[in-house]
């Protein structure tokens, strides 16, 4: 087949028209209703046992942000007036090929994983009172109350042994005891989307939906009257498991190569963990079906990195960056025409991701505000939303197509919000007055790792 025809066919396979988007959005809303009513649904609609903060909470808490293969620990002070100071941020990789460490495989146990994470809190100055700690744990959990959650299943290709079905608080607390950190009390275990929503709503008004568009994908929102309590409660939708989106043959093939075929179908179509894999497969077919020479590197390509995707999408004619990437990574010479086609294909795949996510957001907005009467702000964290060129624009455009030009829905980048959210949850659990010190903590020097007083302020200029 000639190159242009093949390119056009591939692009059309990944293009979602408005009618399809509307259908996805309606089906998502129905799946939310069913999940909330306890009926069969791919959406777990997990209770979080926490509502929104007022912004007046104050005090100090430790936080662990366990979002994926990188975990962050930090010390957070809330000032009681929507402001926060974050100190002692440390990042640790659960995978380190140089040190031969990988705590995400079946070789490691849940105990080892949490002992390793707990060790990172050793350098934070101890206090006389018990220190509350909030932990985001970014996997589906059966939440029993705010401090107690059991892992239902791993996602994002995690396979750590002896963890599914276990209480995350117990595992973490044992890890802290193992590291002689008995003064730290785990008072909240929450999903990272819930953390992002707590951080967003602590800092700004009208934030009532949050999402992660990064390695994994998920969203949560404030259910105004939760069936369990009759009161407002944040619901972790676990949207990555939604299965109401038409799959291409590439999606179906990719799904079969994952460790959990059939599950997390939406996540495998939209999130960073899988987009590079999908793109790799599409490029291989483009080369094979148009008779272009295919190098060993291209034939064996498993996944294209997020950084390469960003650079390819940023390139302009005559597309020299793409030429360089193809030469260096795949030992492949390209013509300007081929490079432009490659960019268009990758744009179609990333745009599809943004449009699917927007369709589910529209479903959430209709669920909480069917008449579209109130303003809603969606706080989003994750590399796709933050870094993929035009991702947020595609998302906004699709929201306008679905909800109308006059809709009152805004999305904001809530960079690294979930760590702050974990601390907000920890303080909500014990009550502000019961935490150790008020902001700024007396005698605390602010080290260089301190983030701005208000991480969301940081990005307000980048609001989409």
Summarize as ranges the residues that interact with ligand BGC (CB under 6 A): 67, 138-140, 155-156, 191-193, 212, 216-218, 238, 240, 267
Task: Please enumerate in sequence order all residues whose Cβ is within 8 A of that of 313, keeping only pairs 6 or more positions apart, or say none.
Answer: 343, 346, 347, 350, 388, 389, 390
> Measured from the CB atom, is 92 or 453 closer to ligand BGC?
92
> Measured from the CB atom, is 156 or 415 closer to ligand BGC?
156
> Measured from the CB atom, is 84 or 219 closer to ligand BGC?
219
Closest to 350 measured CA to CA, from 285, 419, 304: 304
Give CA–CA dist 305/346, Å, rounded. 12
> Measured from the CB atom, is 140 or 363 closer to ligand BGC?
140
> Measured from the CB atom, is 59 or 417 closer to ligand BGC?
417
How far out from the chain centre does Cα 102 lie?
21
How far out from the chain centre does Cα 38 lie?
25
> Measured from the CB atom, is 188 or 286 closer to ligand BGC?
188
| Helix, strand, or coil (residue 129) | coil
How crowded is residue 127: how many other Cβ atoms within 10 Å of its Cβ? 14
From the CA atom positions of the chain, what is the Rg in Å? 22
> Measured from the CB atom, is 127 or 260 closer to ligand BGC?
260
How far out from the chain centre does Cα 299 lie?
30
> Measured from the CB atom, is 245 or 325 closer to ligand BGC?
245
Describe the strand order of the beta sheet including 409-413 as a list of residue ranges. Answer: 46-47, 233-236, 217-223, 207-213, 376-381, 409-413
Give CA–CA dist 416/210, Å, rounded. 12
Reading the block at residue 62, the tokens are 């430790």
| Helix, strand, or coil (residue 87) | strand
How far out from the chain centre does Cα 139 lie?
10
């Amino acid at each position: 087949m000639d190159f242009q025809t093949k390119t056009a066919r591939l692009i059309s396979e990944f293009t979602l028209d408005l009618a399809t988007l509307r259908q996805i959005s309606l089906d998502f809303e129905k799946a939310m209703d069913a999940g909330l009513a306890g009926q069969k649904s791919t959406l777990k609609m997990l209770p979080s046992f926490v509502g929104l903060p007022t912004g007046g909470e104050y005090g100090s808490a430790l936080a662990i942000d366990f979002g994926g293969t990188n975990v962050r620990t930090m010390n957070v002070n809330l000032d009681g007036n929507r402001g926060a100071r974050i100190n002692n941020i440390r990042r640790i990789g659960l995978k380190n090929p140089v040190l031969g460490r990988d705590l995400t495989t079946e070789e490691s146990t849940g105990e080892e994983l949490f002992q390793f994470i707990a060790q990172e809190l050793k350098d934070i100055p101890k206090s006389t009172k018990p220190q509350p700690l909030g932990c985001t744990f970014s996997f589906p959990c059966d939440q029993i109350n705010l401090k107690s959650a059991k892992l239902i299943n791993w996602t994002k290709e995690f396979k750590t042994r002896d963890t599914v079905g276990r209480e995350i608080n117990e595992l973490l607390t044992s890890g802290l005891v193992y590291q002689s950190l008995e003064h730290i009390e785990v008072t909240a275990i929450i999903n990272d989307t819930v953390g992002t929503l707590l951080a967003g709503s602590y800092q700004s008004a009208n934030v009532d939906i949050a999402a992660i568009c990064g390695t994994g994908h998920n969203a949560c929102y404030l259910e105004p009257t939760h069936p369990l309590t009759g009161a407002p409660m944040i619901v972790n939708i676990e949207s990555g498991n939604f299965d109401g989106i038409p799959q291409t043959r590439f999606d179906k093939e990719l799904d079969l190569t994952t460790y959990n075929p059939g599950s997390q179908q939406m996540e495998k179509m939209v999130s960073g963990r899988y987009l590079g894999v999908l793109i790799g497969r599409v490029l291989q077919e483009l080369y094979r079906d148009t008779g272009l020479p295919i190098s060993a590197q291209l034939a064996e390509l498993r996944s294209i990195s997020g950084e390469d995707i960003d650079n390819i999408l940023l390139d302009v004619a005559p597309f020299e960056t793409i030429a360089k990437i193809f030469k260096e990574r795949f030992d492949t010479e390209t013509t300007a025409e081929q490079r432009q086609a490659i960019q268009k294909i990758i744009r179609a795949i990333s745009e599809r991701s943004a449009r699917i996510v927007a369709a589910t957001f529209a479903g959430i907005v209709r669920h909480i505000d069917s008449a579209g009467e109130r303003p809603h702000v969606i706080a989003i964290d994750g590399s796709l939303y933050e870094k993929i060129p035009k991702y947020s624009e595609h998302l906004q455009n699709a929201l306008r197509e679905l909800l109308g030009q006059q809709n009152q829905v805004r999305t904001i980048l809530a960079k690294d919000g979930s760590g702050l959210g974990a601390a907000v949850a920890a303080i909500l659990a014990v009550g502000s007055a019961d935490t150790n010190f008020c902001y700024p903590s007396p005698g605390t020097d602010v080290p260089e790792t301190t983030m701005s007083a208000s991480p969301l302020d940081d990005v307000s200029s980048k609001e989409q």
